Structure 1
Amino acid sequence: MKVIGAGFGRTGTRSLKAALETLGFGPCYHMSEVIAEPSRVRQWLDIGEGRASNWDEVFAGYQSALDWPAASYWRELAEHYPDSKVILTVRDPAKWYASVSETIFASALAERRSLPLRRRVVRWLVRRRSPDFALYPRMAKATVMDRVFDGRIDDRDHVTKVFERHIAEVKATIPPERLLVFEAGDSWAPLSAFLGVPVPDEPYPQVNERAAFRRKRPRRLLSLIVRGR
């Protein structure tokens, strides 16, 4: 593991994943990897509920890791991979909250409510066809919603304070020479310099995470139902 992402989800992690892979630090582990391979959900559920944390097994074949759930364990990963560099992706707190509350948190809060018949049928089909992916809400709760936010994801002030405190804690914990505080708008120059590689002759990737989230989950659920993964 050469690069560990300490930034929360919805801080440009999808764009940074593409950037790291362009720079030669791929494959890059991201929540999208967990969704694409439901067996990984069970791995993270074991970690979140305290049964196992074999980091080398979880990240086998990957040179970098970003986004939740990996970012929830940035301290453990930074200690386990002492030669890795750490990238803290940051964003304006208000804009970050707007993004996370309309995507990840909205999905998690929906799990707490009584679902309409159509959603209950879809959930039943997913559980039948993909038992591992059916554990996704429980995994997300254990590794992100409860671990990071104490389950209070419907409390805007609390969530924003956690976000700001997290940034301060990473900056205070990781030595400056090992840490890059990065915003997607910073583009290639600071990232390439930090990693010691040339600046690519192409634009920095721009992935609309909110739009990708909205497109990806319905397609993934349909795929699970059809193929039974």
Structure 2
Amino acid sequence: MLRVIGAGLPRTGTMTLKSALETLLGAPCHHMAEVFRNLETDPPAFLAAARGAPTDWDAVLAGYAAAVDWPSSAFHAELAERFPDAVVVLSRRKDFDTWWTSCNDTIFTGMDGGDFATETWAAMIAAIWDRTFEGAPRTDRDAVEAAYHRYHERVRETIPPHRLVEFTTGAGWEPLCDALGLPVPAEPFPHLNTTREWHERTGDVPPGGVPGPSKES
């Protein structure tokens, strides 16, 4: 049963949130990284959900205490209804420009390609994108920015304030611990999947070289 539902977009510190929530909850957190390990089951399940099929969320997310990042964050409203006691975390970068730059430096370079990109995978990504950004072309910065702001407003309109935690990248343990009623761990808050780490892991070096380590996921 989910205790935390992530509504934040990719590249808003979701890998860091995954690690932090696994520490706090002592159980796995779903993330796009999990989809790569479950390519036979996750993409078809989330694609069907994006197309409006009835979805057994208990089965899709069995064994997880939290879910952040795409594809699950695109279904935060459905998940919030199914798990009414769960906290909803809206992770955010400081502004659209920071988020846009991070995405273009990382996930936008290979979201549709690679050995993993089956027809079902590509269809899932397209469906999740359209669901989140209302069909805005990925190359149209202005259209994406407008849809980006509307998305955040939809989250705020859908999730009651007492359940919603707006979590800006770098906020640390306190907002999560306060919402969950848990003590702050003694260990430092994690900091994972920076732009540099993403490129080092994928071997995809962008024009101009790999950015410095200060850009967070």
Partner of 2:76 in structure 1?
Answer: 74
Contact 2:6 2:68 in 1 (8 A): yes
Distance 2:179 2:52 in 1: 34
Cα RMSD, aligned residues only: 2.2
Cα distance in 1 for residues equivalent to 2:149 and 2:141:
12
1:180 positional shift: 0.6
The corresponding residue for 1:11 is 12
Match of residue 130, structure 2, among 139, 146, 161: 146
d(CA) in 1 for partners of 2:30, 2:8: 13
SS at match of 1:166: helix
The runs of 5 or more residues in structure 1 that have no matched partner are: 112-122, 220-229
Count of equivalent residues:
200
**TM-score by structure 2 length?**
0.83
Query: What is the match of residue 110 of structure 2?
Result: 107
Runs of 4+ in 1 over 4 A off after TM superposition: 215-219
Question: How far does residue 54 in structure 1 lie from its aligned partner after superposition?
Answer: 1.7
Higher Rg? 1
Alpha-carbon distance between aligned partners in 2 of 1:14 and 1:66, rounded to the nearest angstrom: 8
Q: 1:85 aligns with which of 81, 84, 87?
A: 87
Q: 1:164 aligns with which of 128, 131, 149?
A: 149
Q: Distance in 2 between matches of 1:137 and 1:85?
A: 30
TM-aligned CA distance change 1:182 to 1:133, over 3 Å: same
> Aligned residue for 1:223?
none
Asked if structure 2 preserves the Cα contact closer than 8 Å seen for 1:15 and 1:184, the reply is no
TM-score, normalising length from structure 1? 0.79
Counterpart of 1:189, as a letter, is E
What residue is the counterpart of 2:48 in the other structure? 46
Q: Which amino acid aligns with 1:160?
A: E
More displaced stretch, 154-163 vs 209-218? 209-218
Partners of 1:69 and 1:23 lie apart in 2 by 22
